[in-house]
Structure 1
Amino acid sequence: MTVSIFAGWFVVTRFSVTRELTIWDITALRFGIGAVLLAPTVLRRGQRLPPAAWRDGFLFMLLWGVPFVLLVAMGLRLTTASQAASITPTLMPAFAGLFAWTFLRERQGRARWLGYGAIVCGLAGLVTAAAISHGAPDPAGLVVLAAASAMWAVYTIIFRRSGVTPIQAAALICVWSAVTFLPFYVLLGLSRFGVASLGEIALQALYQGVLMSGVAIVTFNRSVALLGSGAASAIIALVPCVATLLAIPILGEVPTALEGAAIAVIVAGVLLASKPPSLPATPSSKKGRRP
């Protein structure tokens, strides 16, 4: 469910940021509606969180709230939906594995490292194929999308160790994002709702506010809690496969044969990277073996 919603998000967001609405409108819809839907889970009587959870939530917001959405939206304006959907979710598991190994000393195992390598190689193939077909991508677009990917990876690692539930984390991200962003959005007059069609506003309100903030964040957090940050992050690398297919009928962006081959490499990498790392053999498991 998470992969399906995220994949559609890249297509739906690019649809609007290249037309009437701006990245500011998309961000306001996503976190404004998300805050209204999810705030009761952390603010109602009997459900209020301790100050430490709110501090964690503010950090979550910095990593996967307003800054993340603005970076991805900026990258979407500078690249294509398929390129953005390929770079950000595809690099994220590689960053997550690297950060967990470097800073937390978490053992990854040979299969995962091979998977991360395949994912990165597949991504390189996608970017190369896109450059051949549509021209070289904007370097600034690649940089901001990679930065967003690194932020997302750090979030997956920190969230699992925070003790906050999936729905509480989603609510905290939306509430903190709304509190910090909406006042500037209103005071600076950034809205372009007056020039957009009602149909486009309704589409973005449903997708950004309900599906992304109300469903996808919760389901992704739940997957991290169930699978661990490594496996959950690896499965997110499937987003470009789904987004590329969705971009064909909606945006008219048809992948080439090379792009299709690169996606197949990414899928193979996901299968490897989502495997749990093998544990070292214990003394009891070696019992009875000849030296």
Structure 2
Amino acid sequence: MFNIHKAWGLLMGLAAAIIGGGWQVATRHATATGLSPIAPDDLIILRYGVPALLLLPIIWRSGLLPRHVDRRMLLLMLVGAGVPFGFAAMSGTRFAPTSHMGVLMAGASPLIAAGLAWWVWREIPNGTRRMGMAFMLAAVMLLGAQTLVDWSASTWRGDLLFLLAALLWAGYAVTFKRTGLSPWHAAALVNVWSFLLVIVWIAARGGTQLLSAPMSTLAWQVIWQGLLAGVLGLWAYSVAIERLGAAPAAAFGALAPAISAVGGWWWLGDSLTALDLVSVSAAVIGVVLASGVWPAYRR
């Protein structure tokens, strides 16, 4: 029987994955343009500043500390999707190739989220979803096999930052629904709180070089970092969590490395090997099995 509630969650999970994969490609593109070499620090301003300004009216009505929200859950949610996540993800590109970003961050996050959902909330996946997670793990390992070949003495720092970002993003997945917030309200809180921290960061480091970037590059990054990733991506992901649950929604993250690989081939001219195509196929199969198309989690 067709379930519009669940179908909308699946559609939003797919949208979040597409935006997430595109965000990775856009971030890689930024590090090779006029924003470089300080792109991670400057991109974080766009990533949280633009959404904060757009969503400020929501916070104006509700305040920065909603009364009905558990403070611990709120803190975990803000850390998981806010500026700590952004700094970990973007700073990792200083040490490791950005191709590792898709594999170790977006690819590992669904698996971490499933583990956290089991450990914290005792959400036990059925056999179909366990099979899906196995396909997702295979996709991550296949993509990682070739991206880790260029490992160096400094690469491990970036890889650890990407894994930290994956853990934080998974933390958002398992805490958002417990806050009782709407997707728009959660997106507003994450971005406004993060931008307040970014303002402190800008003051401490003595300003930004964003204004020296080419206007075309700046406008493109405003769209990707601020509007798509910061507003629509986070909102779509939150809707998917609300409709499907934490682990099924997070499963869509396994598509992000595949989308990133295809997007890098189409937009940046990156090579797309037969191994890439196999891993993309494994990721798609894994998401179909693990995202909730089949029976839900047993409680």
| TM-score, normalised with respect to structure 2 | 0.85
Q: What is the percentage of aligned positions where both structures have the same residue?
A: 28
- 1:149-228 equivalences under 5 Å are 149-228=166-245
| CA distance 1:42–1:278, change in 2 (3 Å) | closer
Aligned partner letter, 1:96: A
- Residue 103 (structure 2) aligned to one of 86, 101, 108: 86
> In the alignment, which residue of structure 2 is the partner of 1:13?
27
What are the ranges of 5 or more consecutive residues in structure 1 without an aligned counterpart?
Answer: 281-291
Measured in 2, the distance between the counterparts of 1:183 and 1:217 equals 23
Measured in 2, the distance between the counterparts of 1:255 and 1:169 equals 37
What are the ranges of 5 or more consecutive residues in structure 2 without an aligned counterpart?
Answer: 1-14
Contact in 2 for aligned 1:234/1:273 (Cα 8 Å): yes
> In the alignment, which residue of structure 2 is the partner of 1:136?
151
Measured in 1, the distance between the counterparts of 2:121 and 2:26 equals 36
> In the alignment, which residue of structure 2 is the partner of 1:2?
16
1:81 shift after superposition: 4.1
Contact in 2 for aligned 1:20/1:192 (Cα 8 Å): no
Measured in 2, the distance between the counterparts of 1:244 and 1:173 equals 28
| CA distance 1:62–1:131, change in 2 (3 Å) | closer
- Residue 51 (structure 1) aligned to one of 56, 62, 67: 67
1:182 shift after superposition: 1.2
| CA distance 1:16–1:218, change in 2 (3 Å) | same
2:90 corresponds to 1:73: yes
Aligned partner letter, 2:84: P
> In the alignment, which residue of structure 2 is the partner of 1:286?
none
Aligned partner letter, 2:20: F
> In the alignment, which residue of structure 1 is the partner of 2:7?
none
2:226 corresponds to 1:231: no
Q: CA offsets per residue over residues 168-223 of structure 1, 9 Å max, x none?
A: 00000011001122122134224112431111111111211111222111111011
Measured in 1, the distance between the counterparts of 2:31 and 2:268 equals 13
Contact in 1 for aligned 2:139/2:280 (Cα 8 Å): yes
Contact in 2 for aligned 1:129/1:256 (Cα 8 Å): no
Look at both structures and tell me which one has the larger radius of gyration over its CA atoms: 1
Measured in 1, the distance between the counterparts of 2:297 and 2:187 equals 32
| CA distance 1:130–1:59, change in 2 (3 Å) | closer
- Residue 62 (structure 1) aligned to one of 66, 69, 79: 79
**Which deviates more, 143-152 or 260-269?**
260-269
| CA distance 1:131–1:58, change in 2 (3 Å) | closer
| TM-score, normalised with respect to structure 1 | 0.87
Measured in 2, the distance between the counterparts of 1:278 and 1:236 equals 18
Measured in 2, the distance between the counterparts of 1:80 and 1:190 equals 27
2:255 corresponds to 1:241: no
Contact in 2 for aligned 1:111/1:277 (Cα 8 Å): no
Measured in 1, the distance between the counterparts of 2:182 and 2:206 equals 35
> In the alignment, which residue of structure 2 is the partner of 1:288?
none
Measured in 2, the distance between the counterparts of 1:220 and 1:101 equals 20
Aligned partner letter, 1:224: I
Measured in 2, the distance between the counterparts of 1:274 and 1:220 equals 13
> In the alignment, which residue of structure 1 is the partner of 2:12?
none
Measured in 1, the distance between the counterparts of 2:189 and 2:172 equals 13
1:259 shift after superposition: 2.1
| CA distance 1:81–1:245, change in 2 (3 Å) | farther
